[in-house]
Copies of this chain bind each other. A is one copy, B any other.
Amino acid sequence: MPKLGMEPIRRAALVKATIDEIGAVGNLDVTVSNIARRAGMSSALAHHYFGGKDQIFLAAMRHTLRVYAAEVRAALADADGHKDRLAAIIRAGFTSSNFQPEVIAAWLNFYVLAQTSEDAHRLLRIYQRRLHSNLMHDLRPLIGGRAAGAALRIAGLIDGLYLRQGLARDPAGQGATAQVLALLHAELRGGAQ
């Protein structure tokens, strides 16, 4: 009983199923059949709507980035003043939703994919540039010329500590946030020149 307008529903279901499946398997060795089964349809339909495996992966990556961007936006909406906004950006990277196993798996595998897929690399650059520009926007008024270096270090520390915490067997633990916030305060105090 084919309802019309199924395309967006099917695509969304496939994207979610892809991320879940990558999270369950841990790498990109996931089959279109398993993704499709998880999304409640045949593998032929997945091919019909996405054309191929690569495009399914890219759609999943776009979705992951979109979710993260939305979280940052929401956190910024509740923040007041440059310093508060910077702290909000940092905290948004370490919320528990970012540490769901399937989200961690998605990020790690997208890093791998970015080595060989131009599209994946482009998407990752968008994330990096957005983070950098968000940081700069509030760092510049506070520390002027030292903002550029500080933004590089803060962004790098966010990525590095996310990587470490994501790979730790311990599911919880918000020590990473505190470390990045400590760096932020040092930068604001003029620590690194």
Count of chain A residues with a beta carbon within 8 Å of a chain B beta carbon: 46
Question: How many copies of the polypeptide does the oligomer hold?
Answer: 2
Q: Are A163 and B164 interface neighbours, CB within 8 A? A: no
A58 interface hit (Cβ, 8 Å):
no
- Interface digits, A152-175 against B, CB 8 Å rule (1 contact, 0 not)? 110111111101100101000001
Candidates B25, B101, B167; contact of A114 at CB < 8 Å: B167
Nearest Cβ on chain B to A112's Cβ, whole angstroms = 5
Q: Is A97 an interface residue (CB 8 A)?
A: no
A108 touching B115 in the complex, CB below 8 Å, given contacts A157-B157, A161-B156, A193-B182: yes
Contact of A105 among B29, B115, B156 (CB under 8 A): B115
Once the chains bind, are B109 and A167 in contact (CB under 8 Å)?
no
Judge whether A186 is part of the interface by a CB distance below 8 angstroms. yes
Q: A153-B182, A182-B153, A189-B191 are in contact. Are A111 and B163 (CB under 8 A)?
A: yes
A186→B186 CA distance, assembly (Å): 8
Contact at A111–B167, with CB atoms within 8 Å?
yes
Partner of A183, one of B26, B153, B163: B153
Q: Is the interface of A mostly helix, strand, loop or mixed?
A: helix
Report yes or no: B112 in contact with A27, Cβ–Cβ below 8 A.
yes
Determine whether the beta carbon of B157 is less than 8 Å from that of A112: no
Is A156's CB under 8 angstroms from B169's CB?
Answer: no
For the complex, what is the distance from the CA of A185 to the CA of B192, rounded to whole Å?
Answer: 7
A18 to chain B, nearest CB (A): 16
Find chain B residues with CB under 8 A from A113 CB.
27
Could you tell me the distance between the alpha carbons of A176 and B152 in the complex, rounded to whole angstroms? 9
Cα distance, A108 to B158, chains bound together (Å): 17
Besides A108-B111, A160-B161, A185-B192, 9 more A-B contacts (Cβ < 8 Å) are A27-B113, A101-B115, A111-B163, A152-B175, A153-B183, A155-B160, A156-B179, A160-B163, A190-B191
